[in-house]
Copies of this chain bind each other. A is one copy, B any other.
Amino acid sequence: MFLRRHLRVTLLSTRHISSLANSPHRAVVYSSTGNPSQVLSARALPPLPPPSPTHLNLRVLLSPINPADINVIEGVYPSKPSIRPDLGNVFIAGNEGLAEVVDVGDSVNSVVPGDWVVMSKPQAGTWASQLSVGEGDVIKVPQGLSEVQAATMSVNPPTALCMLRDFASLSPGDYIVQNGANSAVGQAVIQISAALSLKTINLVRDRPDISELKSKLSSLGATHVLTYDELAEKSTKTRVKEWTSGRSIKLGLNCVGGRDTTLMTGLLGHDAHLVSYGAMSKSPLSLPTSYFIFKNLTSHGFWMSRWYDSHSKSDREQLLAELADMMIAGKLHAPEHEIVTLRGSDEQVSEQVREAIGKGSAGRHGKKVLLRFAEE
């Protein structure tokens, strides 16, 4: 990685413009939504034409598989990729990704060839070796990050940071509570909270290796970790009061829903905010109305795609710069991950993608799987 990064700097400093012309262009596409193992296939595509004045041609370096990507392919997600009539009416899969700028249109001035960028436009079609995007659809990646850090920095870590910052007014020493604490966002919440001197109560499902998981989350900076069974114990409210010295908890983060979330919300104090960003239990969010009326609870949702859509380019860059600073300072680590290199015939790559998705789904709470198209 350091070698590659060094190379990038060298390329940049000599204004060498690398070319995509000799690289194969391949993408993971689908023509109708459905079960990914049935609808996805890898396909060789014609080379990208030179970019229009406002566009960039990118070489994709790494493409994470996120759980929402599967929902998009299944057709059960509200945001969809644009259909590509130029490629025979297919969709290109993939939302998140790290890419290197290879060629820029005449009026582009915010990036130069050699820069690393991530996508702020949702569903840009990152499961491809090359991409053409508008200048406004990317965010330049700050210097000093590894490929994996950069490739996984535009969805989960900023979700965590925005949720910690945009809803409740918190001061160092304040507690927050979250469920699904071992999810990718949950782990980012733990680390960013610690970096901001916030304390966290983290809820996870019980499992055979629970003490191992608790140790892992503690080592990331979790103040307390409880299972949902422990949350349901009568003594928990008292324990939490002792932990917080009676100070009220003003922020709860939810990616689960259902009864466990009702219990978690009961830990919040007056004037608190519950922010939901997922619904892993597939149960609705069910809360006593009295929490809203008498405790002045406010319940919000957070969706990173909407945040990008409603914020300026400089806001986006500022957000990633803050996260990069935490990464460089060693306070925010890349997720545990596995890189799957795609190579061979279209059929072989299709099969490799299906396998990778299987790993990604099974590993919802485990390793992040990232795709890399081999340069052959």
Residues in chain A within 8 A of chain B (CB atoms): 78, 254, 257, 262, 276-279, 284-303, 306
Q: With a CB–CB cut-off of 8 A, which chain B residues contact A297? A: 301
A301-B292 in contact given A285-B286, A287-B284 (Cβ < 8 Å): yes
Extra contacts besides A78-B294, A262-B284, A285-B286 (14): CB < 8 Å = A257-B289, A278-B289, A279-B288, A279-B293, A284-B287, A285-B292, A292-B299, A292-B301, A293-B301, A293-B302, A293-B303, A294-B301, A296-B301, A297-B301
Q: With a CB–CB cut-off of 8 A, which chain B residues contact A291? A: 301
Most B C-beta atoms less than 10 A away, residue of A286, A288, A289 = A289
Which chain B residue lies CB-closest to A310? B296
Q: Which 6 pairs show the lowest CB-CB distances between chains A and B? A: A292-B301, A279-B289, A293-B301, A299-B299, A286-B286, A78-B294
Most B C-beta atoms less than 10 A away, residue of A288, A296, A301 = A301
- Bound Cα distance A118, B279 (Å): 46
Mostly helix, strand, loop or mixed at chain A's interface?
mixed
Q: With a CB–CB cut-off of 8 A, which chain B residues contact A279? A: 288-290, 293
Which chain B residue lies CB-closest to A255? B289
Whether A300 and B306, one on each chain, are in contact in the complex, defined by CB atoms closer than 8 angstroms, is: no
Picked from B254, B262, B277, B299, the residue with its CB within 8 Å of the CB of A298 is B299
Whether A289 and B285, one on each chain, are in contact in the complex, defined by CB atoms closer than 8 angstroms, is: yes
Tell me, rounded to whole Å, the shortest Cβ–Cβ distance linking A54 to chain B: 28
Q: With a CB–CB cut-off of 8 A, which chain B residues contact A262? A: 284
Q: With a CB–CB cut-off of 8 A, which chain B residues contact A293? A: 276-279, 301-303
Q: With a CB–CB cut-off of 8 A, which chain B residues contact A254? A: 289
Which chain B residue lies CB-closest to A256? B289
